[in-house]
Chain A
Amino acid sequence: MKIRTLRLLAKEGTKNVYKNKLMSFASLATILATLFVLGLVLLIIVNVTTNLEAKKQDLQVKFYLRVDATRLEEEEVALFIEQSRASGVVAEYQYESREQAYENAKKDLKYEALMEGLTPENFAVGYFVTLTNPNDSDQFIARLKLFSGVDSQWITYPKQELERISGMVRVFNYVALFVIAVLMVISILLISNTIRLTVFARRKEIEIMKYVGANDWFIRFPFIIEGMLIGLLGALLSHLLTSQAYGWIKDGLNTLFNSIKISGLQLVEFGELSIRILVVNVLFGVTIGIIGSFMSVKKHLNV
Chain B
Amino acid sequence: MIRFVDATKIYSNGVVGLKNVTVKIDKGEFVFIIGASGSGKSTFLKLIMHEETPTEGEVYVNGYSVHNMPKSEVPYLRRSLGIVFQDFRLLPNKTAYDNVAFAMQIVEALPREIRRQVPLALGLVGLSKKAKAYPSQLSGGEQQRVALARALVNNPAVLIADEPTGNLDPKTSMEIMELLDEINQRGTTVIVATHEKSIVDAMKKRVITLDRGELISDVKKGSYTNED
Contact = CB atoms under 8 A, between A and B. Distances in A.
Interface of A: 1-2, 4-5, 8, 19, 204-205, 207-215, 218, 303
A208 B91 contact: yes
B100 to A, nearest CB: 10
B49 A212 contact: no
Interface of A is mostly: helix
B75 A214 contact: yes
Contact of A211 (B83, B93, B107, B108): B83
A2 B106 contact: no
Contacts of A204: 89
A213 B89 contact: no
Contacts of A205: 91-93
Contacts of A5: 105, 108
A211 B111 contact: no
A120 to B, nearest CB: 89
B106 A208 contact: no
A215 B72 CA distance: 7
Given A208-B90, A208-B91, A213 B108 contact: no
26 contacts: A2-B108, A4-B111, A5-B108, A8-B105, A19-B93, A204-B89, A205-B92, A205-B93, A207-B89, A209-B91, A211-B49, A211-B78, A211-B89, A212-B79, A212-B103, A212-B106, A212-B150, A213-B75, A213-B77, A213-B81, A213-B107, A214-B75, A214-B106, A215-B75, A215-B106, A303-B51
A13 to B, nearest CB: 13
B102 interface: yes
Contact of B79 (A4, A207, A213, A303): A213
Nearest to B106: A214
A205 B85 CA distance: 14
Contacts of A4: 108, 111
B90 A212 contact: no
List of 7 A-B pairs having minimum Cβ-Cβ separation, nearest first:
A213-B78, A213-B79, A215-B75, A208-B89, A213-B75, A214-B106, A212-B103
Contacts of B108: 1-2, 4-5
Given A205-B91, A210-B78, 6 more contacts: A5-B105, A19-B93, A209-B106, A212-B103, A213-B78, A215-B72
A5 B111 CA distance: 10
A21 B79 CA distance: 32
Contacts, number: 49
Interface of B: 49, 51, 72, 75-79, 81, 83, 85, 89-93, 102-103, 105-108, 111, 150
Contacts of B51: 303
B106 A213 contact: yes
Contacts of A212: 78-79, 83, 102-103, 106, 150
Contacts of A207: 89
B51 to A, nearest CB: 8
Contacts of B83: 211-212
Contacts of B49: 211
A76 to B, nearest CB: 76
Contacts of B150: 212
Chain B CB within 10 A, most for which of A1, A5, A211: A211
A278 to B, nearest CB: 34
Contacts of B102: 209, 212
A303 to B, nearest CB: 8
Chain B CB within 10 A, most for which of A8, A212, A218: A212
A201 to B, nearest CB: 11
A24 B196 CA distance: 45
Contacts of A209: 91, 102, 106
B105 A213 contact: no
A247 to B, nearest CB: 42
A74 to B, nearest CB: 81
A129 to B, nearest CB: 67
A207 B49 CA distance: 13
Nearest to A207: B89
B187 to A, nearest CB: 20
Contacts of B78: 210-213
Nearest to A2: B108
